Structure 1
Amino acid sequence: MASNRPAPEAPFAPSQYGTETFGYGNYRTDEGPWEEWNPTEDSIRPLRGRHRVARQRGGGLARSSTVLGVGVIAAVGAGGMASANTGKPPVSISMPDLPSVGSLLGDGDGAGTEATKGSATALSSVGVTEADSAEGTTDAGEALRNRIMAQAEQQQGQAETKAVAAAVSAADQEAADAAAKAEKEAAARAAAAKEKAEAAAKKKAEEARLAALARQYSLPTSSYTITSTFGQAGSMWSSGYHTGLDFAAPTGTLIKAVHTGTITEAGWAGSYGYRTILTLDDGTELWFCHQSSISVSVGQKVNTGDVIGRVGATGNVTGPHLHLEVHPGGQSSGIDPMAWLRSKGLTP
């Protein structure tokens, strides 16, 4: 192996120091004193040509690999941290493009073998391939697209949620309205049914009351025909209208007490002919007029259905009949006998 020109030998040590080892006042022959050496341009210029020192590939690359390793670790570490922290593509780290350490140790004119030339690859691109760069750009675009799509889906979901909420609210309102309407209709039906039931019960009670009264009251005669009613106008009546109810029947037809009471009058009454007045317990007076005969006397107590006289044609008449008048409380003016009889459960 070729070597550089040997350095000049050191001058011989003076003999006065002897051959003793150097230490604390002693002197060793292998440790000087030396001649002062001043290097010159010629003494340190590397040899040219084929006799320069051959550098081992491993040694030069070891030093350059150290630098390269630092760059790779920094680039890969930075990209890994960015990916781990944010999920974004690796970020390229810009580093100055330095020549390899071997080129720094080469000849001054830059000539040499490939082993001593600097690497043409920039440290900034060490460990980062074209696929990585493309993947980083693609990942960034994909991430942006994913965020946009996620936002659009979120907005769509919110819109759908609002629509569903509105539909549910409308359905609830419709159901509430339907329930309120149904409740109102049910209440109306219940009220109508109640009113109908009350009316039916009232009618039934009235029918029962009238049936009970019918057993207590009786029509004044039988085998009759109604010929004149209350209020009927005519010149034949002195008041200008008819004041009672006429039951036309053959002379001698029995006249019966309509209800239990006391005979307060029995005798001749002018235009009324023979008349009998029956006063009931509530003070109502019943006038039986135009009788052919009287069967009771004043002060006599009679019951429902008892015979009090007979049909005749006495007084102001055109034929045999019973003229019946009703005077509540003994008043001089009377009321419609037809309505009164019906109120007692009787139908003339």
Structure 2
Amino acid sequence: MASNRPAPAAPFVPSQEQPETFGYGGYRTDEGPWEEWNPTEESIRPVRGRHRVAKQRGGLARSSTVLGVGVIAAVGAGGMASAQTGKPPVSISLPDLPNVGSLISDDEPAAETAATPLSDIGGTAVADSEDTGTATTTTADAGEALRTRIMAQAEQQQVQVDTKAQAATEAALAKQAQEAAAAAEKKAVEEAAAAKKAAEEEAAKKAEAERLAELARQYTLPTSSYTITSTFGQAGSMWSSGYHTGLDFAAPTGTLIKAVHTGTITEAGWAGSYGYRTILTLDDGTELWFCHQSSISVSVGQKVATGDVIGRVGATGNVTGPHLHLEVHPDGQAGGIDPMAWLRGKGLTP
């Protein structure tokens, strides 16, 4: 680094000899006595036109400031770059400061000098502006690059989180839609099954009605203008078995008795407590007993059809009044069944 020029020597005063030496050697008698020199502004004012020191108006201070800022920026950037890349630190060389001679001007008393700019260090260059005196950054430093990288990574992570959350939401919505579709499909299947069952039941009812209608054309009630007075299973002391074994149609004496269905007469005559009785055996083996008749119109072995007259209502046997006592014995068995239910099974309503 260059040094400043030495100040001009003080005038020689022989009478003021100093006891101590000054300079590079000891006191020399041939140079004369020395006296203490206290320079003042008046004593060092140069002759106009030669060796005049220009007043410094901030040029050196401004250059020093720029130099300090540049050094700090360079050192900071170099250290940050070393921390990021792991490379060895960059050596820094400082330019020589302008010497005092560069500040001396014979023509312009207020000349200003500019400091030499630092070289680019750590990706940052600093320049001195003669107009504004401010330092400007020409490239983004390593710290800004690191901050930008961190912000980009954070944004990328946030995007990943948002994407994952959106995917989870879409999966949940898809699952809900699938469950809703499955529930709707199940409900539709159940409704279809219920509708099918209802249709089948309706068809069964319709078929049964048609069957009963067809049977009704094949079967008929045993008499007309009647009143039901006693039903099957009714308890009482009037019956030897302790309960009623048939169905009673109360009607005036002489009312016609008809064959309920096509069959063969297997019995016709007196039957004790049953009075005059006629037994009609159907093709399936079921026996129909018509009791308490006043008269019989058929004979054993005779074939009859539905609605043919086989006798008349009477009050013979163990009775309290004229009526038709009807019993039903499937397969000719001794114990009978409820005639009301059997007639209803044939499409008839007593």
Do both proteins adopt the same fold according to a TM-score greater than 0.5, normalized to the shorter chain?
yes
Q: How does 1:185-334 map to 2 (within 5 A)?
A: 185-334=187-336
Contact kept? 1:92, 1:124, Cα under 8 Å: no
Match of 1:262, SS state, is strand
Question: In the superposition, relative to structure 1, how do residues 129 and 207 fare at CA in structure 2: closer, same or farther (>3 Å)?
Answer: closer
Counterpart among 152, 155, 159 of residue 153 in structure 1? 155
Rounded Cα–Cα distance in structure 1 between residues aligned with 2:164 and 2:127: 45
Deviations 1:235-275 (A, max 9, x none): 00000000000000000000000000000000000000000
- Report the aligned-residue RMSD: 3.1
Deviations 1:60-111 (A, max 9, x none): xxxxxxxxxxxxxxxxxxxxxxxxxxxx9xx996476799xxxxxxxxxxx9
Deviation at 1:122, TM superposition (A): 7.9
- Distance in 2 (CA, whole Å) between partners of 1:266 and 1:160 is 100
- Partner-residue secondary structure (3-state), 2:337: coil
Sequence identity of aligned pairs in percent? 76
Q: CA deviation at 1:183?
A: 1.1
What letter matches 2:321 in structure 1? G
Partner of 1:139: 141
Tell me by how many angstroms 1:138 deviates. Answer: 4.0
Task: Indicate the SS of the match to 1:313.
Answer: coil
What whole-Å deviation, never above 9, does each CA across 1:21-66 have from its counterpart, x for those lacking one?
A: xxxxxxxxxxxxxxxxxxxxxxxxxxxxxxxxxxxxxxxxxxxxxx
Match of residue 119, structure 2, among 121, 125, 129 = 125
1:345 corresponds in structure 2 to: 347
CA distance in 2, matches of 1:190, 1:299: 56
Alignment check: 8 A CA contact 2:236 2:244 kept? yes
Which amino acid in the other structure matches residue 289 of structure 2?
W
Q: Does the residue aligned with 1:318 lie in a helix, a strand or coil?
A: coil
Matched letter for residue 130 of structure 1? V
Q: Equivalent residue for 2:48?
A: none
- 1:257–1:97 Cα change, 3 Å: closer
Conserved? CA contact 1:96–1:122, under 8 Å: no
Structure 1 CA distance for aligned equivalents of residues 192 and 304 of structure 2: 50
Q: Quote the residue 1:11 is aligned against.
A: none
TM-score (norm 1): 0.64
Q: Match of 1:315, as an amino acid?
A: G
Deviation digits for residues 107-158 of structure 1, max 9, x if unmatched? xxxx9xx9xxxxx988973898514996377432222121111111111111
Distance (whole Å) between structure 2 residues aligned to residue 284 and residue 330 of structure 1: 6
- Distance 1:233-1:130 versus aligned 2 partners, 3 A rule: same
Tell me: CA distance 1:258–1:97, structure 2 relative to 1, closer, same or farther (3 Å): closer
Cα distance in 2 for residues equivalent to 1:289 and 1:282 = 21
Choose 1 or 2 for highest CA Rg: 1
Separation in 1, partners of 2:270, 2:120: 153
- Once residues 146 and 306 of structure 2 are traced to their aligned partners in structure 1, the CA distance between those partners, rounded to angstroms, is 111
Give deviations 1:188-214, integer Å, cap 9, x for gaps.
111111110000000000000000000
Report how many residues are paired.
245
Higher helix residue share: 1
In 2, distance between residues paired with 1:182 and 1:98?
Answer: 86
Alignment CA distance shift 1:254-1:182 (3 Å): same
Corresponding position of 1:181: 183
What CA deviation, in whole Å up to 9, does each residue of 1:149-198 have, x standing for no partner? 11111111111111111110110111111111111111111111111000
Contact 2:125 2:138 in 1 (8 A): no
- Tell me the distance in 1 between the aligned counterparts of 2:340 and 2:213: 17
Distance 1:306 1:176 in 2: 70
Contact 2:117 2:127 in 1 (8 A): no
Q: Is the 8 A contact 1:324 1:337 kept in 2?
A: yes
In the superposition, relative to structure 1, how do residues 345 and 126 fare at CA in structure 2: closer, same or farther (>3 Å)? closer
Partners of 1:95 and 1:124 within 8 A in 2: no
Amino acid at match of 2:304: V
DSSP-derived class of the 1:125 partner = coil
